[in-house]
């Protein structure tokens, strides 16, 4: 549901995407969008009239109620308005542009949805996630000529982070990884988090928080199905 979550954040909506009505409505709308994409149609703003949207949402409302959900008429009509807001032309137009040249917001939403898919709670300072997403997806790490500043992280910070990661991996009393690949991934994640304090200027982030975040990020990144586009969950 990366597409719908992106539209929610783009429109600054406070809609609850985890609710039965919103979740099932999103699935129904995204099915139409996905079908158009599979037919080779360009990314265009979906033409969903107010009447069509109400028809779709009434069907999903019936499904939710049949499943035991208690949804009042007031909540239903309020949700209809919020869904219409989320499906605004401006945000969907921006989404089409994002698919060609993804921004930090798009990658952040993708990573958040990947975390949900992998069953990982991002229970940490939001700035840590923001920093990691920026470092993972947006840092220019192709210039290897600069030995002192590579991948957006100063060499001294990388050295310190590397030693910290090695110390954690060597600690047999702490959490252990099942294979060397995950351990190596943890090492890389720690390097990307080396200068997280530069991003989290308004929050105090200590070493324990960084290590806990690194373990969570490794669990997400190790789940290839979730990081590969989440085909089964659109």
How many alpha carbons lie under 13 Å from residue 112 in its C-beta half-sphere? 20
- Structure tokens, 157: 């910070």
What is the pLDDT, as a whole number, of residue 231? 42
DSSP H or E segment with residue 228: none
What is the pLDDT, as a whole number, of residue 196? 87
Residue 69 neighbours by CB distance under 10 Å = 14
What is the pLDDT, as a whole number, of residue 234? 39
Contacts of residue 151, defined as CB under 8 A and 6 or more positions apart, other chains included, come to 135, 139, 141, 158, 191, 192
Please say whether the beta carbons of 141 and 151 come within 8 A. yes
What is the pLDDT, as a whole number, of residue 85? 87
How many Å apart are CA 93 and CA 163, to the nearest integer?
Answer: 45
How many Å apart are CA 151 and CA 141, to the nearest integer?
Answer: 4
What is the pLDDT, as a whole number, of residue 143? 41
φ/ψ (deg, to 5) at 70: -105, 100
What is the pLDDT, as a whole number, of residue 141? 45
Q: What is the dihedral of CA 25, 31, 33, 34, to 10 degrees?
A: 150
φ/ψ (deg, to 5) at 176: -115, 150
- pLDDT tens-place string over residues 6-62: 889 888 999 998 899 999 999 888 887 777 666 666 666 667 788 888 899 999 999
How many Å apart are CA 44 and CA 217, to the nearest integer?
Answer: 33
What is the pLDDT, as a whole number, of residue 142? 42
Mapping DSSP to helix (H, G, I), strand (E, B) and coil, where does residue 154 land? Answer: strand
- Structure tokens, 40: 């080779």
Each residue's pLDDT, cut to its tens digit, for the chain (234 residues) gives 788 888 898 889 999 988 999 999 998 888 877 776 666 666 666 677 888 888 999 999 999 999 999 999 999 999 999 998 888 767 877 877 777 788 888 899 999 999 999 999 999 999 999 999 988 888 754 444 444 444 455 555 555 555 555 565 555 445 556 667 777 888 888 888 888 887 898 888 888 898 899 989 999 998 888 886 444 443
What is the pLDDT, as a whole number, of residue 229? 46
């Amino acid at each position: 549901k990366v597409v719908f979550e992106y539209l929610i954040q783009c429109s600054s909506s406070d809609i609850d995407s985890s609710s039965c009505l919103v979740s099932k409505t999103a699935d129904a709308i995204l099915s139409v969008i996905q079908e158009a994409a599979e037919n080779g149609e360009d990314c265009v703003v979906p033409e969903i009239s107010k009447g069509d949207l109400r028809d779709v949402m009434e069907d999903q409302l019936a499904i939710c109620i049949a499943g035991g959900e208690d949804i009042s008429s007031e909540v239903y009509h309020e949700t209809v308005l919020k869904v219409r807001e989320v499906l605004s032309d401006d945000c969907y137009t921006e989404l089409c542009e994002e698919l060609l040249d993804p921004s930090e917001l798009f990658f952040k939403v993708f990573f958040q949805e990947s975390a949900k898919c992998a069953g990982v709670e991002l229970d940490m300072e939001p700035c840590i996630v923001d920093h990691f997403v920026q470092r993972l997806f947006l840092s220019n790490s192709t210039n290897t000529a600069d030995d002192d500043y590579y991948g957006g992280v100063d060499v001294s910070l990388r050295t310190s982070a590397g030693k910290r990661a090695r110390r954690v991996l060597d600690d047999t009393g702490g959490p252990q990884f099942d294979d060397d690949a995950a351990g190596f991934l943890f090492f890389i994640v720690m390097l990307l988090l080396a200068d997280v304090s530069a991003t989290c200027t308004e929050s105090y982030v200590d070493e324990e928080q960084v290590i806990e975040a690194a373990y969570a990020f490794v669990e997400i990144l190790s789940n290839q199905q979730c990081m590969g586009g989440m085909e089964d969950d659109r």
